[in-house]
Amino acid sequence: MSAVLVVGAGLSGAVIARTLAEAGQRVHLVERRAHLAGNCHTARDPQTRVMVHHYGPHIFHTENPAVWAYVNRFARLRPYRHTVRTTFRGQVFALPINLTTINQFFGLSLTSEQARAHIAALAEPGLDQARNFEEQALRSIGRDLYEAFFRGYTQKQWGRSPRDLPAAVLRRLPLRFTADDSYFSHPFQGIPEDGYTAMVEAMLDHPAITVALNTPFAAELAKGAAHVFWTGPLDHWFGADEGALAYRSLRFEIFRATGDHQGCAVMNFADAEVPHTRITEFRHFTPWESQSQTLCARETPFEAGPGDEPFYPVRLADEKALLARYVARARGLTGVSFVGRLGTYRYLDMDIAIDEALAAAQAWLRLGAAMPAFAVDPLTGQAQV
């Protein structure tokens, strides 16, 4: 029986490999990096023993009980409630914007209903649907809160004016008129006790799975494979011969401190003149551990170039047109399917990536050679199988 080739050892690749192996299919997985778990890779710092999220903070949150049950097969997820703070002009505020944020920012003592009316009075009217991030923000929260918390941060994060970003980017962030400062509202939230890499190791611990690290994909690896699941960047399959899809990447500056450096896991920096967007203090992701030292990472976004790790797909008008050309070419192929955040050029939370990977693997088990290039359409996000 020929093995299925899975390219990439992130969550999507690991879930596909495990699902196929449990169905009796041999799987060979290759990963160009020296570690498992992709961009959710975690490892303990040898000096401080703090568990480090090497590619930025990852918090597992979902409303899908099946996905929650799935990850708990491979790791003990300890309860974790994520909170974020932001620094603006020397003051620290809670995010997402909530009742406490509103009262602190305006120096008021409003009730929930008073705060709702106050924000409604500040919001700028518009007759048509908001055309971009800035218009959406002005219509939702008004100019003062937008310019304090979103304009500078968004410019740094995306390297583009908020006027050039879609309104949907802001719609993902809640606005609350209670004192609830939880960043996520999903019923299932946690972090693997031993880190995400240990969880992925457990997923790949199956006799039908072989793993090769430090192994970039080469065409000869696919020869004779029963099927290829590609979790790398979609354009890389084609050698980016029509042009590279645009991504934002991240630069991490690690530094050590004593005690508790900032009192929270993530501190955003909203001022436009501060070059970094946030500082992550990793010890706060394991509140069940006692740490005498701390380790932090200062995070600065930049435009991804050749050799840089891609993090956030840009997906503006030019990229969508280029994406459509690659999608059309991919649909003309047989024997390969494109999955995951990079393979479908979409921003995916971990739970969505897992759910889509499960669906892709199960679809191949049903369809075999009739498996389409995409289980989820990269252009619309709609399921194809």
H helix runs in the chain, sequence order: 11-22, 65-71, 99-106, 112-122, 133-141, 143-146, 152-158, 168-171, 196-203, 234-237, 317-331, 340-343, 350-367
Among 153, 171, 189, give the residue marking a domain's end: 171
Residue 85 annotated as catalytic: no
Q: Does residue 318 form part of some domain?
A: yes
Q: Say which CATH number the domain at 238 has.
A: 3.40.50.720
Residue 176 annotated as catalytic: yes
Q: Does residue 15 form part of some domain?
A: yes
CA distances from 21 to 36, 70, 268, 300, 365 (A): 18, 15, 42, 39, 11
Q: Does residue 321 form part of some domain?
A: yes
φ and ψ of 166, to 5 deg: -70, 150
φ and ψ of 179, to 5 deg: -85, 10
Domain that holds residue 317: 4-36+204-245+313-370
pLDDT tens for the chain, 385 residues long, are: 799 999 999 999 999 999 999 999 999 999 999 999 999 999 999 999 999 999 999 999 999 999 999 999 999 999 999 999 999 999 999 999 999 999 999 999 999 999 999 999 999 987 678 889 999 999 999 999 999 999 999 999 999 999 999 888 887 788 999 999 999 999 999 999 999 999 999 999 999 999 999 999 999 999 999 999 999 999 999 999 999 999 999 999 999 988 899 999 999 999 999 999 999 999 999 999 988 899 999 999 999 999 999 999 999 988 999 999 999 999 999 999 999 999 999 999 999 999 999 999 999 999 999 999 999 999 999 999 8
Q: Cis peptide leading into 96, omega within 30 of 0?
A: yes
Q: At what angle do helices 11-22 and 196-203 cross, to 10 degrees?
A: 30
Please check whether residues 104 and 161 belong to one and the same domain: yes
Catalytic residue among 89, 113, 172, 220: 172
Residue 349 annotated as catalytic: yes
Catalytic residue among 134, 299, 351, 355: 299
Closest CA to 44 of 357, 315, 291: 291
Residue 139 annotated as catalytic: no
Residue 248 annotated as catalytic: yes
Sheet holding 4-7, edge to edge: 209-212, 27-30, 4-7, 228-230, 336-338
Residue 241 annotated as catalytic: no
Residue 278 annotated as catalytic: yes
